[in-house]
């Protein structure tokens, strides 16, 4: 029941906002629906904490320690982004970049996107997972092109075609998975695509077919994670779409896509009985981390810069999942959480920073601290956090990943260190003059909602200094589940 | 010959024509012709799904055959024709494609696809087991078409042809996915298609053309 409410609320929100999205109170309605979803998710989480994992609706949906924390994270960031978007979109409208009708589209699609992500996270059916991932892409395509400028149309087209092709590969992988499962589980009762059933019989699934399936699934969902060399859509979509969309794409969608990859990896690894899937994840992850870091140097647009930073971090997380084992998985899950929180808060401040300066070009953004101390310090602290400065949580997870890599695969350490070092130098060098320095730009017409930024950063800080016992247990259980 | 022996033979024939149509698509430059070929591909898919449904006695597959007929033979080609007419793009042609070389690359892809499908084909028990390689080849050829073409509509047709290949793979390897999933996939396809339709107009409004070479400003300098 809780499950249905979690799925139903954003859908209801999408419907309501499709009807009333052009009214003046639409932004409040959007935030309100997101808050209601967050409350529903909180109840679901409490239930899982108390009674353990649960299956619902003919086993089509399930919640275990792996997905429940992602559901909570998604609901939380979804809510804070809705809060941030209220003044942000109002300023955009005032400046004539958006009309009431576009705002209606935006609000409605925002809720639909949340619904698609919850469906992807909660479903037990690998086919439904695919459908939900595709739905998440489709609902954000028109958001990326919301401004209807040439650049945004190009970005949206690229996003649509690349992710469409990618997701088609994932469908082929899903078909192969079904093909192998059908031999073991049979067609009756439709259990052959249910993850829990597949997981129970994974040792009997034909390894050669699953190996091939994994290649397709990894390429397919990996495109959406933004893994190099399939990452081309990501920086464009992040730079050209409205900032709240960049924040949820980076903070949530990438996580959900990676979640799909990991679910598949668990099955395939159990079937093949070798380290091959893990090795593939490590290779893709390492490549993304290094390439992403080097591309950071050449960026001029602030949102593109942090788009590439997302590629780098998703690479690090994928790499950690590739190593496998309780510690690396734990670190990867932690990094997923802190990256999502930090990156969305950075996009919040970056969005307002470019509104203040009337440009997304970093050369044009100067002296943020002078104009608005909250934006300036928010951006500075967010950047320091994402660069892995202690005591923030990113430091803890990166440290864990680095030490595990050193112990188990020493040859990867130099690559990781290079990626981290290059990223540090590139981002710090660019953020520093934006935050400090001189500027005479006037402050924003609506006061920005930057409370979410500091809440996010406070949580990230807390995770770095002290991890609540329940949360650590939770991560540990999820890490055990992923195994490897 | 007994009719039950004929069905596998017929299916092979249909699979071969599917591949042939994919090659024909690669060699066509005009949008109008491509849409017709896409409709043909859909009809072949429809007939082959019907045959599999009949021989395996699965009612579910009759539904998905009907879905194929409605969506891929009638609705999508019709909408595409109307769209191109409204956009005045029905006689657009791709001039910058080297057809012979594309064909050669296509041949290589077909061989690669068959090699890749070998282990799966060996364990397939369905009557259409030889066709997985072809399905994979159709997917790869559609992919090739998307890479080599520059017009927005042509890329979309390539995308749809790829979906046809996927659908064929699903029926030939597994007698189709569960109905819920197939409906979901069809819905996604339809919605995606509408979004693309909206895109065509937005792109033309902004660039006065559907040529995607205008869409190349976002590059790493």
Measured between alpha carbons, how far is B155 from B166 in angstroms, rounded to an integer? Answer: 17
Nearest alpha-carbon partner for A153 in B52, B75, B203: B203
- List the 131-170 stretch of B: residues with Cβ below 8 A of A: 136, 139, 143, 146, 152, 155, 159, 162-163, 166, 169-170
Residues 6+ apart with CB under 8 A from A469: none
Is the pLDDT reported for residue B221 higher than 60?
no
Test A154 with B162 for CB contact under 8 angstroms.
no
Cα A41 off chain centre by: 18
Is the pLDDT reported for residue B129 higher than 70?
no
Nearest alpha-carbon partner for B134 in B18, B11, B7: B18
3-state DSSP call for residue B124? coil
Is the pLDDT reported for residue B127 higher than 70?
no
Question: How close is the nearest chain B Cα to the Cα of A112, in Å?
Answer: 13
- Cβ proximity of B166 and B139 under 8 Å: yes
What ipTM does this complex have? 0.89
Q: Measured between beta carbons, which residues in chain B are less than 8 angstroms from residue A171?
A: 166, 185
Task: Give pLDDT, residue B2.
Answer: 62
How many CB pairs below 8 Å do chains A and B form together?
Answer: 124
Measured between alpha carbons, how far is B184 from A310 in angstroms, rounded to an integer? Answer: 30
For A232, the token pair is 């081309």
pLDDT in tens, chain A (484 residues): 788 898 999 999 999 999 988 888 899 999 999 999 999 999 998 888 888 888 887 888 989 888 888 999 999 999 999 999 999 999 999 998 888 889 999 999 999 999 999 999 999 999 999 999 999 999 999 899 999 888 898 899 889 988 988 888 999 999 889 888 888 887 766 788 899 999 888 888 888 889 989 999 999 999 999 998 889 899 999 999 999 999 999 999 999 999 999 999 999 998 888 888 999 999 999 999 999 999 999 899 999 999 999 999 999 999 999 998 899 999 999 999 999 999 999 999 999 999 988 999 998 899 888 888 899 999 999 999 999 988 899 999 999 999 999 999 999 999 999 999 999 999 999 999 999 878 778 888 888 888 999 999 999 999 998 888 888 888 898 898 887 6
| Largest Cα–Cα separation, chain A | 70
Please tell me if residue B221 touches chain A, with a CB cutoff of 8 Å: yes
Write out pLDDT tens, residues B77-107: 998 888 888 877 767 677 667 888 889 999 9
Test B120 with A164 for CB contact under 8 angstroms.
no
3-state DSSP call for residue A1? coil
**CA distance to A161, A344, B14, B97, per residue, from B109 (Å):** 21, 42, 20, 18
pTM: predicted TM-score of the whole model, two decimal places: 0.93
Measured between alpha carbons, how far is B145 from B136 in angstroms, rounded to an integer? Answer: 14
φ and ψ at residue A422, rounded to 5 degrees: -65, -45
> Residue A391: is the preceding peptide bond cis (ω within 30°)?
yes
Is the pLDDT reported for residue B218 higher than 80?
no
Please tell me if residue B171 touches chain A, with a CB cutoff of 8 Å: no
Task: Give pLDDT, residue B130.
Answer: 67
pLDDT band at B177 (very low <50, low <70, confident <90, very high): confident
Q: Name the residue in chain A with its Cα closest to that of B215.
A: A154
Test A175 with B206 for CB contact under 8 angstroms.
no
| Axis crossing angle, helix A207-225 with helix B99-123, rounded to the nearest 10 | 130
For A283, the token pair is 């290779």
Which H helix or E strand runs over A135? Answer: helix A126-144
Measured between alpha carbons, how far is A400 from A398 in angstroms, rounded to an integer? Answer: 5
Please tell me if residue B65 touches chain A, with a CB cutoff of 8 Å: no
Measured between alpha carbons, how far is B61 from B57 in angstroms, rounded to an integer? Answer: 9
> Which residue is associated with the tokens 């401004």?
A147
- Cβ proximity of B127 and B61 under 8 Å: no
Handedness of CA B42, B43, B49, B52 (dihedral sign): negative
Residues 6+ apart with CB under 8 A from A140: A109, A113, A159, A237, A241, A245, A249, A253
């Amino acid at each position: 029941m809780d499950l249905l409410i979690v799925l139903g609320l954003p859908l209801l929100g999408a419907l309501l906002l499709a009807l009333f999205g052009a009214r003046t109170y639409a932004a409040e309605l959007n935030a309100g629906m997101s808050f209601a979803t967050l409350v529903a998710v909180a109840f679901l989480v409490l239930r899982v904490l108390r009674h353990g994992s649960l299956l619902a609706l003919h086993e089509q949906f399930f919640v275990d320690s792996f997905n429940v924390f992602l559901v909570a994270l998604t609901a939380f960031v979804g809510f804070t982004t809705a809060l941030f978007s209220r003044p942000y979109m109002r300023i955009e409208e005032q400046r004539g970049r958006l009309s009431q009708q576009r705002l209606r589209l935006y609000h409605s699609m925002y809720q639909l996107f949340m619904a698609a992500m919850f469906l992807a996270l909660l479903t037990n059916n690998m086919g439904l997972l695919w459908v939900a991932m595709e739905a998440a892409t489709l609902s954000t395509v028109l958001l990326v092109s919301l401004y209807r400028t040439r650049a945004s149309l190009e970005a949206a087209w690229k996003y649509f075609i690349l992710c469409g092709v990618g997701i088609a590969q994932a469908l082929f992988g899903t078909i192969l998975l079904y093909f192998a499962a059908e031999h073991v589980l049979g067609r009756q009762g439709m259990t052959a695509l249910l993850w829990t059933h597949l997981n129970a019989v994974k040792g009997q699934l034909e390894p050669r077919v699953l190996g091939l399936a994994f290649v397709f699934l990894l390429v397919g969902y990996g495109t959406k994670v933004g893994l190099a060399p399939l990452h081309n859509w990501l920086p464009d979509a992040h730079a050209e779409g409205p900032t709240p969309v960049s924040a949820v794409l980076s903070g949530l969608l990438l996580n959900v896509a990676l979640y799909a990859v990991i679910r598949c990896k668990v099955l395939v690894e159990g079937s093949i009985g070798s380290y091959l899937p893990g090795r593939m994840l490590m290779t893709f992850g390492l490549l993304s981390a290094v390439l992403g870091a080097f591309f950071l140097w050449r960026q001029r647009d602030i949102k593109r810069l942090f788009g590439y930073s997302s590629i780098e971090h998703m690479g690090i997380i994928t790499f950690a999942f590739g190593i496998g084992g309780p510690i690396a998985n734990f670190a990867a899950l932690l990094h997923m959480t802190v990256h999502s929180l930090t990156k969305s808060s950075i996009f919040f401040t970056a969005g307002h920073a470019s509104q203040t300066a009337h440009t997304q070009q970093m050369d044009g953004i100067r002296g943020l601290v002078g104009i608005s101390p909250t934006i300036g310090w928010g951006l500075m602290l967010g950047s320091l956090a994402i660069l892995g400065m202690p005591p923030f949580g990113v430091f803890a997870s990166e440290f864990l990943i680095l030490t595990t890599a050193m112990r188990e695969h020493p040859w990867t350490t130099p690559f990781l260190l290079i990626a981290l070092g290059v990223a540090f130098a590139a981002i710090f060098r660019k953020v520093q003059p934006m935050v400090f320095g001189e500027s005479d730009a006037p402050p924003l017409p609506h006061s920005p909602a930057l409370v979410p930024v500091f809440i996010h950063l406070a949580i990230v800080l807390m995770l770095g200094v002290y991890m609540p016992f329940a949360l650590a247990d939770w991560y540990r259980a999820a890490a055990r589940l992923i195994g490897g | 010959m007994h009719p039950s022996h004929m069905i596998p033979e017929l299916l092979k024939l249909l699979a071969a024509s599917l591949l042939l149509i994919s090659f024909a698509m690669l060699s066509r430059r005009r949008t109008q012709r491509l849409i017709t070929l896409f409709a043909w591909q859909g009809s072949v898919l429809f007939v082959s799904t019907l045959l599999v449904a009949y021989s395996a006695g699965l009612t579910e597959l009759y539904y998905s055959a009907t879905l194929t007929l409605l969506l891929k033979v009638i609705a999508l080609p019709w909408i595409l024709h109307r769209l191109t007419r409204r956009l005045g793009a029905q006689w657009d042609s791709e001039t910058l494609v080297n057809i012979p070389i594309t064909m050669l690359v296509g041949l290589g892809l077909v061989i690669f696809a068959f090699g890749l499908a070998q282990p799966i084909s060996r364990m397939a028990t369905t009557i259409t087991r030889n066709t997985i390689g072809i399905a994979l080849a159709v997917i790869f050829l559609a992919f090739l078409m998307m890479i080599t073409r520059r017009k927005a509509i042509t890329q979309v047709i390539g995308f749809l042809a790829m979906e046809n290949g996927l659908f064929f793979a699903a029926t030939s390897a597994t007698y189709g996915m569960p109905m819920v999933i197939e409906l979901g996939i069809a819905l996604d396809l339809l919605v995606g298609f509408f979004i693309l339709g909206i895109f065509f107009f937005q792109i033309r409004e902004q660039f006065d053309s559907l040529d995607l070479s205008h869409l190349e400003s976002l590059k790493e300098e």
